[in-house]
Structure 1
Amino acid sequence: MLAYLDEFLLIAIAHFFAVASPGPDFALVLKQSVQQGRANALWTSAGVALGILVHVTYCLFGVAILLAQSEAAFNVLKYVAGAYLAYMGLQALQAQANTNSVAQPQHTAHIESNFMALRRGFLVNALNPKATLFFLSLFTLVISADTPSYVQAIYGGYMAIATWLWFSFLSVMLTKDTVRAFFHKAGHWFDRGIGVILIALAIRVVI
């Protein structure tokens, strides 16, 4: 593995900037932290990490190249991803003010199950065309064709774990008592703002 250390460091740096940049994953974890609370946000983060494995898998099998060469297939992916983001954005726009006297997650009457949170995070990442392009570039431009498949799989595993740790960290920070107390008062406006951002991301993905 030491022979691939330089390559791994390039991948780790590129992945860090990609995962830390604002995008659908970040907006989703932010929204779930505010609306649903820490446990839901952590499961959502795990779903985002599992979505990474989808991109890694099809890159290892060369499907990403076929996807990039097929405009029709890529357009279908864009439209499905855009529709899903827009759907979540419209849901967030319907957020109502919290009238409870104790700070707690928004919409407590509609707390999602862990599976729903996991699925939501998974779908947002797995359907993200930006992630498709990122991993295609990574596996064709950064990772050498001579790098063994098992080493490339280790790279993918690292990126999934790093993604999970990053968004889990955000979930914990965004659901601290002081932050939740603030959102208890004005969280519905924040939810609606996130809704606008998700719809804007949906339009950007499609265009």
Structure 2
Amino acid sequence: MSFWPEFLLIATVHLMAVASPGPDFAIVLRYAVRYGRQQALAASIGIGIAILLHVTWSLVGIAVLIQTTPWVFKALSFAAAVYLAYIGVQALQSKAPAHPEQTIAAGDSDTVPSAKKAFIAGFITNGLNPKATLFFLSLFAVIISPLTPLSYKIIYGVYMAVATAAWFCMLSVLLTHTKVRAFLLLKGYWFDRIMGLLLLALAMHLLVSSFSN
């Protein structure tokens, strides 16, 4: 079995998937806008680590159980939708800074969550995403050959986790650049509200698409 052709195909498919807007992007954008670089980076790493969860499920066959047992998939979908809706409602409550000048000088005055909490938020957002589970199930069942050694599959999984974290970390750094950060601190509450609407829409779409099947 040739390693590089399969690896390049997986890397390409994964890049298209991770670059498309979704719950992960919304969470990173919200944390970058509202809380700053450290929290956005922590959330990005959490998202990347959660990839290993999906890879593990796919390798040990739990993803097959989720796909073949409808109520398990629906339960996971419901949990993910509730969590996204909860974050969305919080984002919709964002307000304009009372003292813009002080906000730019000192940063966002809101209570900033710890890096640990940001990491957990990123991990849960990705880990509870059933669409991500099905994506990796399809990846391991269709694109990756059954003849591919387990060691190669583990390498693929680690790569996708690292690549995902790197992508969102790069996005976090870009969004928290000094000038971008200053602008977002003044107008970021609008982005926060838009992300709130997006998260609520994603939660609703997740419920409708899962329970209509």
TM beyond 0.5: yes
Aligned partner of 1:184 in structure 2 is 185
Residue in 1 aligned with 2:133?
132
How far is the alpha carbon of 1:98 from its aligned partner? Answer: 1.2
Report the Cα distance in structure 1 between the residues aligned to 2:22 and 2:51, rounded to whole angstroms: 14
Contact 2:34/2:185 (8 A) holds in 1 = no
TM-score, length-scaled by structure 1: 0.96
Distance 1:71 1:105, change over 3 A: farther
Match of residue 211 from structure 2: none
Deviations 1:117-142 (A, max 9, x none): 11000000000111011101100000
1:87-102 alignment runs, 5 A limit? 87-100=86-99, 101-102=101-102
Q: How far 1:68 sits from its partner (Å)?
A: 0.5
TM-score when normalising by structure 2: 0.93
Distance 1:125 1:159 in 2: 13
Q: Which runs of 5+ in 1 are unaligned?
A: none
Report if aligned partners of 1:89, 1:197 keep a CA contact under 8 Å in 2: yes
Q: CA deviation at 1:162?
A: 0.2
Does the CA-based 8 Å contact 1:34-1:105 persist in structure 2?
A: no
Contact 2:41 2:168 in 1 (8 A): yes
Aligned to 2:2, what secondary structure does the other structure show?
Answer: helix
* Per-residue Cα deviation, 1:4-62 (whole angstroms, up to 9, x for no partner): 11111110000000000000000100000001100000000000001100000011101
Distance across 1 between alignment mates of 2:122 and 2:23: 10
Is it true that 1:122 corresponds to 2:128 in the alignment?
no
- Alignment partners' CA distance in 1, 2:169 and 2:121: 15
- Aligned equivalent of 2:36: 37
Partner of 1:198: 199
Q: Tell me, which stretches of 5 or more residues in structure 2 are unaligned?
A: 209-213
Q: How does 1:33-112 map to 2 (within 5 A)?
A: 33-100=32-99, 101-102=101-102, 103=104, 105-106=107-108, 108-112=109-113
**For residue 89 of structure 1, what is the amino acid of its counterpart?**
G
Percent identity of paired positions between Structure 1 and Structure 2? 48
Amino acid at match of 1:44: A
* Partner residue in 2 for 1:165: 166
- How many residue pairs match? The answer is 205
When the two chains are superposed, the root-mean-square deviation of aligned CA atoms in Å is: 1.2
